[in-house]
Every structure is written in structure tokens, then in C-alpha cells.
């Protein structure tokens, strides 16, 4: 009886795995689409010095919160967290680890004059 339950569980796992992978790929594609749509606004806010990248892998307001940009920032950070979660599950690591790796990549890709927050302080990239 135990062998039968193990076989059924294994069979279900094999049958469900493609569906789970498709769901993850679909979610990732959806997130990427939203990132692409929001990218020009995020770049504009960075160029204006309203927001910058943090060492936690998210964007935040440099000085004061801009109510007109709050929705964009909140959506960006929520989507980043969702993407970090997908990657973390896939790689068997933590969301924070994925976020920190992304922060490092974003710091390297940042343009001169954009704000970066590390060690709790905002600095302009030179």
C-alpha cells in the first residue's frame, strides 16, 4: 500500500511539474511586460533625481515622497519582489539574496548622476 501511495505521489508530481513550470514562466513573462511598460517612467524619475536604487534591490524616493510617482514606485517594487520570489524558488535561495544580487547589478548599470542608496545614505553615481 505504501508503494502505491509513493507511486501515485510521484506520478502526480511528474504530471503537475510542467503545469507549475508553465505557470512560473507565464508569471515571469507578465512581470517582464509590466517592467518594460513602466521602464520609461522609472528612468525619467531616476534622471530627475526623484528616485534611486537601493542596496536592497528596490527603488525608493531620494528626498521626499512624490505622491504623483508613488503608484509607479509601489508597482515597481511589488513586481520586483514577485520576480525575486520566482527566482529564489527556482534557485533554492532566499528572496533577500536574489534582491541583493539584483541591487548589485542595478548599481553597476546605473548611469552617472543617478542616486544609489547604500549604508543608509544616498549618493550620486559618478
Domain of 88, in residue numbers = 23-124
Those residues with Cβ within 8 angstroms of residue 69's Cβ, 6 or more apart along the chain or in another chain: 41, 45, 50, 51, 61
pLDDT at 25: 79
Would 63 be classed as within a structural domain? yes
pLDDT at 60: 98
pLDDT at 21: 45
Would 1 be classed as within a structural domain? no
Would 12 be classed as within a structural domain? no
Would 73 be classed as within a structural domain? yes
pLDDT at 11: 46
pLDDT along the chain (126 residues), means of 10: 55 50 75 96 97 98 93 98 96 96 97 96 96
Domain count, the chain: 1
Would 5 be classed as within a structural domain? no
Tell me how far apart the alpha carbons of residues 41 and 94 are, in angstroms, rounded to a whole number.
Answer: 29
Would 53 be classed as within a structural domain? yes
Would 3 be classed as within a structural domain? no
Would 2 be classed as within a structural domain? no
* CA dihedral of residues 55, 60, 62, 65 (deg, nearest 10): -160
Tell me how far apart the alpha carbons of residues 27 and 8 are, in angstroms, rounded to a whole number.
Answer: 28
pLDDT at 20: 45
pLDDT at 73: 98
Amino acid at each position: 500500500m505504501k508503494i502505491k501511495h509513493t507511486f501515485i505521489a510521484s506520478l502526480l508530481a511528474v504530471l503537475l511539474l510542467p503545469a507549475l513550470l508553465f505557470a512560473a514562466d507565464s508569471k515571469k513573462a507578465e512581470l517582464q511586460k509590466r517592467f518594460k511598460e513602466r521602464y520609461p517612467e522609472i528612468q525619467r524619475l531616476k534622471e530627475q533625481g526623484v528616485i534611486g536604487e537601493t542596496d536592497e534591490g528596490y527603488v525608493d524616493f531620494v528626498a521626499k515622497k512624490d505622491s504623483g510617482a508613488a503608484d509607479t514606485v509601489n508597482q515597481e517594487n511589488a513586481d520586483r519582489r514577485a520576480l525575486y520570489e520566482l527566482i529564489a524558488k527556482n534557485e533554492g535561495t532566499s528572496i533577500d539574496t536574489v534582491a541583493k544580487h539584483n541591487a548589485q547589478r542595478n548599481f553597476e548599470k546605473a548611469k552617472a548622476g543617478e542616486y544609489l542608496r547604500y549604508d543608509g545614505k544616498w549618493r550620486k553615481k559618478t
